[in-house]
C-alpha cells in the first residue's frame, strides 16, 4: 500500500499548458457523459433481468474504485511518448468501431437487443481504457494506471447482457450439468429418479432445472465479486488470478447444492416454489460471497513482501507537444464516438404515435373445428416472466383413432413495442427450449422453408424435426418484427445480424409475433386442411 499522490511540483504544473488543461476537461466531460448515458441505458436491463441486478451498484462502485486507485493503488504515471500515444489511440479507435457496430445492430434489432447492449458496453469500456491511459500520463496524474483503476472499467462488462449465443450456450450447458449431477447424487442417496432433458422425474413429482436455476445468475455475480475483491484485497497478480479462477467453479458448485436441496425437498412433498426457491437462492449467494471474501483475505494474509510502489519520474520539463497530441487525439475520437452514437439514437428512437392494441390471440385460433377435437393449454402462465409477455395461446387439434391420430398444435405469442428485445424472443425458439424437455433435434434437418397453405404462400420460416421416444414432431416457426419476418437463421451469428442490419436499414420500435406450428405429420399432409387455411387467414393482417 502506498501513500496518496503528492501535489505536483511547480515545474510539472507549469508544463501543463492552458490548451492541455482545456482538452483534459473536455475529455473528462465526454467520458463522464458516456458513462452516465451507459448507466441510464442499462438501468432497465438491471431492473428487469435478475441476472444483472448487481448492476444497480455499478456507477457508485466505479467511482469508488477510481478514488481508491488514487488512495491505495501503486502510482504509475508514464511519461508521454509515441508508445503511450499508440496505447491510448488503439482502444479509442476500438470504441469508435464498436459504437458503429452497435448502431448497425440497433437499427434492425432495436436498442433493447442484448447484442446491442453488450457491444455498446464494450465500446464504452474501450473508451474508458483509452481515457485511463491518457489521464494517467505525467505530469497530469489525474488517475494512476494500476489494477484497481482497470478493474473499475472492466467490471462494466459483467453488468451488461451477454450476447444471445453466449448466453444460450452457457445456460444450456449449466442446465445439463446441474441436472445430470443432481440425478447422480439422487442415485447415490437411493432416491428413485430419471432424467428427461432438464427435467428430473421423481416418484411423486417432476422438478425442472429452468434457465433461472441454471446458475448463470450466481456465476455472473461471483465473477463480479471475484474481480472486485481481487482488486481491493489481493496485492499479488497470481492471487488475483487464483481468486478469479475459483469464482466460477464455486458458483457452479453452490448452485448444484441448492438444486439438490430443492429436489430433495420436492421428493419429500414440500412445495419448493415461492419461499423455499427464493430463500435457498439468497442463502447460496450469501454463502458464496462470504467464501470469496474469505479467500481474498486469506490470500492477502499470506503476503510476505509488500508490493513496492514504482519510483516517481524525476521532475523536469514535461513533453507538452506529446501530451497535447495525446489529449487532442483522444478528444477527436471521443467526439466522433459521441456524434456517431447520437446519429444512431436520433434515427432509431421510437415513434411518438401510440401503439395499436394487442390482437386477441385466442380469437385467431378456432376454438372448434369440424372433425377435430380441440384442447387449449391452460398452463402457459408459467412462462410469463421468462417470455416477458402474457399474450400467449396454444391449441392442439386431434383427429383420427388412437392407432392413427393426426395432431396439429399452434402456438402464438405477441409482444407490444418495447416490451422485450428481439434476442429474448429468439432465445426461446424450439431449438433452444425443446431439448430441455426431452425432444432431440434430428441432425441435418434444419432448413429455411416457404410453405404454401390453401394456395397462399407464407413468409419464409424455419423448419425443424424433433424426436422423443421414437415419436416424430415436425415444427415450423416464424418470428415477425413489425409485421415482417426476421430472416436471420441463427440469432447467435454476429455476421448474420450485421447482414440483417444492412438489409433492413433504419427501424423504429415495433411489435413482435412468434408463431409455431407442430405436428406428427409433414406439411404436405396438412397444406390442404381447411383448419390450417383458416388459421393463417386469421393471421394474415399480422404479416402472413
What's the Cα-to-Cα distance from 176 to each of 216, 278, 385, 390, 468, rounded to whole Å? 12, 21, 22, 28, 17
pLDDT (mean) for 27-54: 90
pLDDT class for 210, splitting at 50, 70, 90? low
Average pLDDT, the chain: 82
pLDDT class for 2, splitting at 50, 70, 90? very low
pLDDT class for 496, splitting at 50, 70, 90? low
pLDDT (mean) for 285-309: 70
Query: Coil, strand or helix: which one is 392?
Result: strand
Nearest to 498 by CA among 485, 487, 511: 487
pLDDT at 349: 59
Cell of 394: 396454444
**pLDDT at 356 exceeding the cut of 90:** no
In this predicted model, which residue has the larger pLDDT, 300 or 320? Answer: 300
Q: Is 181 exposed, middle or buried (0-12, 13-18, 19+ CB in 10 A)?
A: middle
- Burial code (b: 16+ CB inside 10 Å, e: under 16) for 32-64 equals eebbebbbebbeebbeebebbbbbeebbebbee
- Burial code (b: 16+ CB inside 10 Å, e: under 16) for 378-400 equals eeeeebeeebbbebbbbbbbebe
C-alpha dihedral (443, 444, 450, 451), degrees to nearest 10: -50
Instruction: Write out pLDDT tens, residues 457-469.
Output: 899 999 999 998 8
pLDDT class for 281, splitting at 50, 70, 90? confident
pLDDT at 122: 95
111-120, 132-141, 357-366, 499-508: segment of lowest average pLDDT: 499-508
Within the chain, what is the greatest distance between any pair of CA atoms? Answer: 95
Query: Coil, strand or helix: which one is 2?
Result: coil
pLDDT at 64: 93
**pLDDT at 213 exceeding the cut of 70:** no
403 Cβ neighbours under 8 A, 6+ residues apart? none
pLDDT at 126: 94
Q: Please give the helix or strand (H or E) that residue 278 lies within, else none.
A: helix 275-301
Percent of the chain with pLDDT over 70: 84
In this predicted model, which residue has the larger pLDDT, 363 or 196? Answer: 363
Q: Which residues on neighbouring strands pair with residue 452, listed in sequence order?
A: 457
Query: Coil, strand or helix: which one is 19?
Result: helix
pLDDT at 317: 47
pLDDT class for 279, splitting at 50, 70, 90? confident
pLDDT class for 404, splitting at 50, 70, 90? confident
pLDDT at 350: 54
**pLDDT at 55 exceeding the cut of 80:** yes
**pLDDT at 352 exceeding the cut of 60:** no
What's the Cα-to-Cα distance from 364 to each of 11, 166, 196, 504, 529, rounded to whole Å? 79, 35, 33, 28, 16
pLDDT (mean) for 422-441: 78
Query: Coil, strand or helix: which one is 456?
Result: strand
Nearest to 433 by CA among 215, 250, 213, 197: 197
What's the residue count for the chain? Answer: 544
Nearest to 88 by CA among 320, 318, 332: 332
Percent of the chain with pLDDT over 90: 28
- Burial code (b: 16+ CB inside 10 Å, e: under 16) for 323-355 equals bbbbbebbbebbebbbebbeebeeebeeeeeee
Amino acid at each position: 500500500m502506498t501513500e496518496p499522490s503528492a501535489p505536483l511540483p511547480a515545474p510539472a504544473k507549469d508544463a501543463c499548458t492552458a490548451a492541455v488543461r482545456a482538452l483534459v476537461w473536455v475529455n473528462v466531460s465526454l467520458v463522464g457523459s458516456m458513462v452516465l448515458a451507459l448507466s441510464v441505458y442499462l438501468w432497465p436491463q438491471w431492473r428487469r433481468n435478475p441476472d444483472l441486478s448487481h448492476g444497480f451498484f455499478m456507477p457508485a462502485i466505479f467511482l469508488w474504485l477510481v478514488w481508491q486507485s488514487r488512495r491505495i493503488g501503486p502510482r504509475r504515471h508514464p511519461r508521454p511518448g509515441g508508445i503511450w500515444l499508440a496505447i491510448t489511440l488503439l482502444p479509442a479507435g476500438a470504441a469508435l468501431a464498436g459504437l458503429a457496430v452497435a448502431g448497425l445492430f440497433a437499427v434492425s434489432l432495436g436498442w433493447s437487443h442484448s447484442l446491442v447492449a453488450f457491444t455498446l458496453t464494450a465500446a464504452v469500456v474501450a473508451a474508458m481504457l483509452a481515457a485511463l491511459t491518457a489521464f494517467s500520463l505525467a505530469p497530469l496524474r489525474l488517475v494512476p494506471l494500476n489494477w484497481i483503476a482497470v478493474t473499475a472499467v472492466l467490471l462494466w462488462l459483467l453488468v451488461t447482457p451477454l450476447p444471445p449465443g453466449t448466453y444460450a450456450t452457457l445456460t444450456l450447458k449449466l442446465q445439463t450439468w446441474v441436472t445430470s449431477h443432481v440425478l447422480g447424487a439422487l442415485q447415490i442417496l437411493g432416491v428413485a429418479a430419471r432424467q428427461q432433458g432438464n427435467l428430473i422425474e421423481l416418484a411423486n413429482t417432476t422438478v425442472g432445472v429452468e434457465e433461472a436455476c441454471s446458475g448463470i445468475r450466481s456465476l455472473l455475480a461471483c465473477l463480479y465479486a471475484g474481480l472486485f475483491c481481487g482488486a481491493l484485497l489481493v496485492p499479488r497478480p497470481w492471487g488475483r488470478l487464483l481468486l478469479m479462477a475459483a469464482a466460477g467453479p464455486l458458483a457452479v458448485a453452490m448452485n448444484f447444492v441448492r438444486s439438490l436441496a430443492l429436489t430433495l425437498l420436492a421428493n419429500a412433498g414440500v412445495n419448493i416454489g415461492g419461499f423455499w426457491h427464493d430463500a435457498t437462492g439468497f442463502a447460496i449467494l450469501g454463502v458464496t460471497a462470504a467464501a470469496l471474501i474469505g479467500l481474498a483475505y486469506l490470500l492477502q494474509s499470506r503476503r510476505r513482501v509488500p508490493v513496492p510502489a514504482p519510483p516517481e519520474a524525476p521532475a523536469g520539463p514535461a513533453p507538452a507537444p506529446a501530451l497535447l497530441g495525446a489529449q487532442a487525439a483522444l478528444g477527436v475520437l471521443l467526439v466522433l464516438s459521441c456524434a456517431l452514437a447520437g446519429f444512431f439514437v436520433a434515427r432509431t428512437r421510437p415513434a411518438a404515435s401510440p401503439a395499436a392494441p394487442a390482437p386477441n390471440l385466442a380469437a385467431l385460433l378456432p376454438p372448434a373445428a369440424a372433425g377435430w377435437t380441440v384442447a387449449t393449454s391452460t398452463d402457459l402462465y408459467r412462462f410469463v416472466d421468462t417470455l416477458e409477455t402474457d399474450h400467449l395461446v396454444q391449441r392442439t387439434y386431434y383427429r383420427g383413432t388412437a392407432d392413427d391420430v393426426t395432431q396439429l398444435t399452434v402456438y402464438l405469442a405477441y409482444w407490444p413495442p418495447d416490451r422485450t428485445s428481439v434476442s429474448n424472443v429468439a432465445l426461446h425458439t424450439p431449438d433452444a427450449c425443446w431439448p430441455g424437455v426431452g425432444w432431440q433435434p434430428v441432425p441435418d434437418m434444419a432448413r429455411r422453408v416457404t410453405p404454401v397453405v390453401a394456395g397462399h404462400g407464407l413468409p419464409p420460416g424455419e423448419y425443424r424435426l424433433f424426436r422423443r421416444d421414437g415419436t416424430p414432431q415436425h415444427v415450423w416457426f416464424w418470428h415477425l418484427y413489425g409485421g415482417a419476418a426476421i430472416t436471420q437463421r441463427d440469432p447467435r451469428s454476429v455476421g448474420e445480424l450485421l447482414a440483417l442490419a444492412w438489409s433492413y436499414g433504419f427501424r423504429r420500435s415495433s411489435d413482435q409475433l412468434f408463431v409455431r406450428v407442430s405436428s406428427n405429420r409433414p406439411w404436405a399432409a396438412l397444406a390442404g386442411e381447411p383448419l390450417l387455411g383458416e388459421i393463417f387467414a386469421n393471421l394474415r393482417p399480422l404479416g402472413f
